[in-house]
């Protein structure tokens, strides 16, 4: 363990109680878990009792005291997924991996977790493996997902495997693909759009990975300003059906092959995005064009 | 000074006092469990419920954590309060029936049976030991761990604490550890008539089953 690194984290987070969670979050991000030595160090440096620090570390599900495997599979047990039989999916994963939820396989490769809602309820039962979403998971898909995770999901391609996010996005109006194979973000072709702002136009690129936090690239648009997004092919404005849950700005609804829309917040810098199945009706007249 | 009425009697107490303190000042009994003079109020057990306000706005609050307000109207033994209190005692009995403190509470409030699934917990998570350890003993050796049904009391990482003073404060104050019945020696037991549906004396054979952080134990006399 890198004592110096942890001391740095503690220092720049200040020493008040509010800083404790921030410190632990940063250590967790660094090591993928909270090593015992790190917790002792945090207690010593912040002047809190180890019992307090340990209490906080064990209270939040986001913290783990055990090292995690190289790959992480999270099965959603939220209400919507639960009623669609997610419990059975968890059991299947447990059996397939030979571990219980919360445990890591003995080869330190795969950690199995359960979560309470991934925000993609319409796609339930939902499973996330290393940041890749698998919608409508049934029991017979479980071993495929485990194999995919073990082999490294980065090599999988959304084109050949329709269940895997990265998303394939097209313009909701002209249906031409918005994917830019020459510009990669997160190791996948990015989504390209024209953004207009104050009469200026600029090409922007978004990550096509659902769940990615990578910021959109494109420099012409000031941070925090809401832009209008256009299809680079037909120049129509991307329609908006809802407002961003995080900041309230309009969401641009992009068309996805699975027949749902991927809505991304139009405010530059906002990471708000979601999958929406409700827009099918609005768009399906054009299906198969 | 703040003026309020408790069960119709006017009282004026210092700003910042709790409703519990005001009621005790007037001599109205309010049962408490997780409250202890000298420790910060924690409001975990809810046994000290009282009713405040009037009409449809009336509500139950825990008096040990509720600060007095000007013109507050408090009832310490209304029908609603008594019902809530009995329910809390039933629930405590359901989780920790072997505790002398809880047994005594049950007798005092006429709770003879409990309708929930019987469990035999060693702890009601009242937090008295944690506060004792950090506020009076200045040790901070034990604390809460986890949450929800997984919540428990103990030392970090479940290893013997290197800051514990072996003072026995935690055991002294624990309502779950205070045993009247000597159920590990049932033949010598003086039955406290705990009115348990299934007497725990049969269930547990070792005092070691109880939680104890001291090694060796300096407080426990029931070995
Ligand atoms: S015996 Fe140890 S754990 Fe218990 S109150 Fe004293 S210092 Fe704290
Ligand atoms: S061990 Fe005893 S004092 Fe501590 S929280 Fe549990 S019941 Fe309360
Ligand atoms: S039956 Fe008697 S000895 Fe057994 S637990 Fe109850 S009071 Fe204690
Ligand atoms: S309930 Fe599973 S994603 Fe919301
Ligand atoms: S005594 Fe008030 S909540 Fe326990």
Q: At B126, is the pLDDT very low, low, confident or very high (cuts 50, 70, 90)? A: very high
Nearest CA in chain B to A52: B143
Name the DSSP letter for residue B24: H
What integer pLDDT is reported at residue B180 of this predicted model? 43
Q: Is ligand 5 within 6 A of the CB of residue B62?
A: yes
What's the average model confidence in pLDDT over A82-106? 92
Q: Which of residues 139-168 of B touch A (CB under 8 A)?
A: 139-147, 155-157, 161, 163
| pLDDT tens column, A131-160 | 888 999 999 999 999 988 888 776 444 444
d(CA B141, nearest CA chain A) in Å: 6
Tell me the three-class secondary structure of chain A, residue by residue.
Answer: CCHHHHHHHHHHCCCCCHHHHHHHHHHHHHHCCCCHHHHHHHHHHHCCCHHHHHHHHHHCCCCCCCCCCCEEEEEECCHHHHHCCHHHHHHHHHHHHCCCCCCECCCCCEEEEEECCCCCHHHCCCEEECCEEECCCCHHHHHHHHHHHHHCHHHCCCCCCCCCCCCCEECCCCCCECEEEEEEECCEEEEEEEEEECCEEEEEEECCCCCCCCCCECCCCCCCCECEEECCCCCCECCCCCECCCCCCEEEEEEECCCCEEEEECECCCCCEEEECCCHHHHHHHCCC
ipTM over cut 0.85:
no
- Do residue B25 and residue B105 come from a single domain? yes
pLDDT at A289 over 70: no
Q: At B197, is the pLDDT very low, low, confident or very high (cuts 50, 70, 90)? A: very low
Nearest ligand 5 atom, CA B48: 2
What integer pLDDT is reported at residue B75 of this predicted model? 96
Among B141, B146, B147, the residue with its CB nearest the CB of A51 is B141
- Do residue B15 and residue B109 come from a single domain? yes
Cβ–Cβ of B157/A54 closer than 8 Å? yes
pLDDT at B196 over 50: no
| pLDDT tens column, B12-22 | 999 999 999 99
Query: Where among B92, B121, B150 does a domain terminate?
Result: B121
Query: Rounded to two decimals, what is the model's pTM?
Result: 0.61
A47 in contact with B, Cβ within 8 Å: no
- Give the strand pairing for B2-6 and B9-13: antiparallel
pLDDT at B214 over 50: no
d(CA A36, nearest CA chain B) in Å: 8
pLDDT at B183 over 70: no
pLDDT at A46 over 60: yes
Token pair in block for residue B146: 């986890």
Query: Where among B102, B121, B140 does a domain terminate?
Result: B121
Please, how many CA atoms are within 13 Å of residue A248, restricted to the half-sphere of its CB?
Answer: 0
- Do residue B92 and residue B4 come from a single domain? yes
Q: Which residue has the higher pLDDT, A222 or A237?
A: A237
What integer pLDDT is reported at residue A276 of this predicted model? 66
| pLDDT tens column, A146-201 | 988 888 776 444 444 444 457 778 888 888 888 888 877 766 788 888 888 777 77
Q: Compute CA distances B35 → B41, B167, B174, B213, whole Å.
A: 6, 20, 11, 22
What integer pLDDT is reported at residue A43 of this predicted model? 92
What integer pLDDT is reported at residue B185 of this predicted model? 46
Q: Which residue has the higher pLDDT, A96 or A208?
A: A96
Among B143, B146, B147, the residue with its CB nearest the CB of A51 is B143
Ligand 5 centroid–CA B24 distance in Å is 14
- Do residue B196 and residue B173 come from a single domain? yes
What integer pLDDT is reported at residue B178 of this predicted model? 60
Ligand 2 centroid–CA B127 distance in Å is 6
Candidate from A18-22, B22-26, B71-75 with smallest mean pLDDT: A18-22
- Do residue B214 and residue B132 come from a single domain? yes
Ligand 2 centroid–CA B211 distance in Å is 9
Domain count of the fold of chain B:
2
pLDDT at B144 over 70: yes
Distance between CA atoms of residues B83 and A164, nearest Å = 55
Token pair in block for residue B151: 């919540």
What integer pLDDT is reported at residue A236 of this predicted model? 87
What's the average model confidence in pLDDT over A85-101? 93
Return the percentage of chain B with pLDDT > 90, whole number.
54
pLDDT at B212 over 70: no
Query: What ranges do the domains of chain A cover?
Result: 3-59, 71-151, 165-288
Mean of all residue pLDDT scores within chain B: 81
CATH of the domain at B152: 3.30.70
Residues contacting residue A24 through CB under 8 Å, at least 6 positions apart: A34, A42, A53, A56, A57, A63
d(CA B122, nearest CA chain A) in Å: 19
Cβ–Cβ of A52/B157 closer than 8 Å? no
Domain that holds residue B140: 128-222
Q: Is ligand 1 within 6 A of the CB of residue B220?
A: no
What integer pLDDT is reported at residue B199 of this predicted model? 42
Name the burial class of residue B74, with classes exposed (0-12), middle (13-18) and buried (19+) by CB atoms within 10 angstroms of its CB: buried
CATH of the domain at B45: 3.10.20.740
pLDDT at B143 over 80: yes
Collapse the DSSP code of B171 into the 3-class scheme (helix H, G, I; strand E, B; otherwise coil) and give the result: helix
What's the average model confidence in pLDDT over B9-13? 94
Mean of all residue pLDDT scores within chain A: 80
CATH 3.40.50.11290 fits A71-151, yes or no: no
Query: Where among B104, B121, B138 does a domain terminate?
Result: B121
- Do residue B16 and residue B92 come from a single domain? yes
Angle between helices A142-151 and A86-97 (to 10 degrees): 50
Distance between CA atoms of residues A27 and A35, nearest Å = 9
């Amino acid at each position: 363990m890198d004592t110096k690194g942890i001391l740095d984290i503690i220092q720049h987070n200040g020493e008040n109680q509010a800083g404790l969670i921030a410190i632990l979050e940063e250590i967790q991000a660094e090591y993928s878990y909270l090593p015992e030595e790190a917790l002792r160090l945090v207690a010593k440096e912040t002047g809190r009792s180890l019992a307090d620090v340990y209490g906080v570390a064990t209270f939040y599900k986001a913290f783990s005291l055990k090292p995690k495997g190289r790959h992480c599979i999270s099965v959603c047990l939220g209400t919507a997924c639960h009623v669609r039989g997610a419990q059975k999916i968890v059991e299947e994963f447990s059996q397939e991996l030979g571990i219980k939820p919360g445990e890591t396989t003995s080869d330190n490769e795969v950690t199995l977790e359960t979560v309470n809602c991934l925000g993609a309820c319409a796609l339930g039962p939902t499973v996330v493996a290393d940041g890749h979403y698998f919608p409508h998971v049934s029991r017979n898909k479980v071993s495929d997902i485990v194999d995919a995770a073990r082999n490294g999901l980065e090599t999988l391609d959304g084109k050949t495997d329709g269940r895997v996010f990265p998303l394939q996005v097209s313009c909701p109006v002209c249906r031409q693909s918005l994917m830019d194979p020459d510009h990669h973000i997160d190791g996948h072709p990015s989504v390209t759009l024209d953004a207009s702002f104050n009469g200026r136009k600029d090409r922007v690129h978004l990550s096509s990975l659902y769940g990615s936090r990578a910021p959109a690239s494109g420099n012409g648009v000031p941070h925090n300003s809401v832009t209008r997004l256009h299809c680079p092919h037909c120049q129509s404005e991307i329609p908006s059906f809802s407002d961003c849950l995080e900041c309230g700005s309009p969401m641009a609804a992009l068309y996805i092959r699975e027949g749902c829309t991927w809505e991304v917040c139009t405010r530059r810098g906002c990471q708000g995005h979601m999958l929406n199945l409700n827009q099918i009706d609005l768009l399906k007249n054009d299906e198969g064009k | 000074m703040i003026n309020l009425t408790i069960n119709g009697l006017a009282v004026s107490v210092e700003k910042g006092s709790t409703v519990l303190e005001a009621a005790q000042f007037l001599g109205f009994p309010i049962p408490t469990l997780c409250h202890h003079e000298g420790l910060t109020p924690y409001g975990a057990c809810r046994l000290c419920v009282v009713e405040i306000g009037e009409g449809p706005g009336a509500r139950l609050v825990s008096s040990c954590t509720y600060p007095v307000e000007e013109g507050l109207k408090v009832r310490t033994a209304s029908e609603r309060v008594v019902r809530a209190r009995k329910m809390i005692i039933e629930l405590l009995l359901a989780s920790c029936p072997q505790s002398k403190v809880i047994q005594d509470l049950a007798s005092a409030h006429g709770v003879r049976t409990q309708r929930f699934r019987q469990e035999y917990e060693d702890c009601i998570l009242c937090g008295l030991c944690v506060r004792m350890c950090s506020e009076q003993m200045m040790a901070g050796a034990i604390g809460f761990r986890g949450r929800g049904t997984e919540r428990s009391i103990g030392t970090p990482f479940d290893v013997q604490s290197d800051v514990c003073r072996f003072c026995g404060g935690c055991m002294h104050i624990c309502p779950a550890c205070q045993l009247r019945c000597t159920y590990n020696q049932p033949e010598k037991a003086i039955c406290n008539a705990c009115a348990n549906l299934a007497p725990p004396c049969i269930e547990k054979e070792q005092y070691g089953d109880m939680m104890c952080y001291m090694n060796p134990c300096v407080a426990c006399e029931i070995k």
